[in-house]
Amino acid sequence: MSLFKSGPAWSKGADESASRTGQYCHDQLPRTFDCVDLDAVVYKRSGSSMRILEEKLPGESISLAQSNVLPKLAMLIELGVRGKQLRDDSGVFIVWYHNPMSRVCDAGDDEAVTVQKVPCNKYELSCMPSFTTTVSELRGFLSGEYWKMPVTPAAEEQF
């Protein structure tokens, strides 16, 4: 039995939100704040690993709101890591699918995805450490398996 529902990938317009609350904020509230919905927050209790994930299909980009909010969430996660409340492979991640019809629930094990770790500084989003892996490995990542991310010098300087 699969833990994930399977179905075709779907897309939404620039003025549509995946959540009802997000849509309400977009349609009804003044543009004085950022509102983002997240695709997943995974917390492994036994290992104290927390991963916040945003999924992107080919051709999608990070929104202005995401570029403002995701680094702030990364900073909160980093505070938990430094305070030894969270494991060092915790963080905020963007998962870029290479196949426009794929998601973790219905992609083949060998399909490629690129995973980027969001830095604590929104101005460094273009320098996010990233690596390409398979959907099979991504499923392990989602279950809280320990991952040693490749760290670039630019990523070490952000904290």
Q: What do you get for the CA distance between the two ends of the chain, in Å?
A: 42
Overall residue count recorded for the chain in this entry: 159
Over the chain, what is the mean pLDDT?
A: 79
> Could you tell me which residue, 47 or 88, shows the higher pLDDT?
88
Interval 78-93: pLDDT, tens: 999 999 999 999 999 9
Give the pLDDT band of residue 70 (cuts 50, 70, 90).
very high
Q: How many CB atoms lie within 10 A of CB 105?
A: 14
- Is pLDDT above 60 for 98? yes
Give this prediction's pTM.
0.78
Interval 15-33: pLDDT, tens: 677 778 878 877 888 878 8
- Is pLDDT above 80 for 11? no
> Could you tell me which residue, 16 or 1, shows the higher pLDDT?
16
Tally: H helices and E strands in the chain: 4, 5
* Distance of alpha carbon 127 from alpha carbon 83, whole angstroms: 25
Burial (Cβ within 10 Å: 0-12, 13-18, ≥19) of residue 115: buried
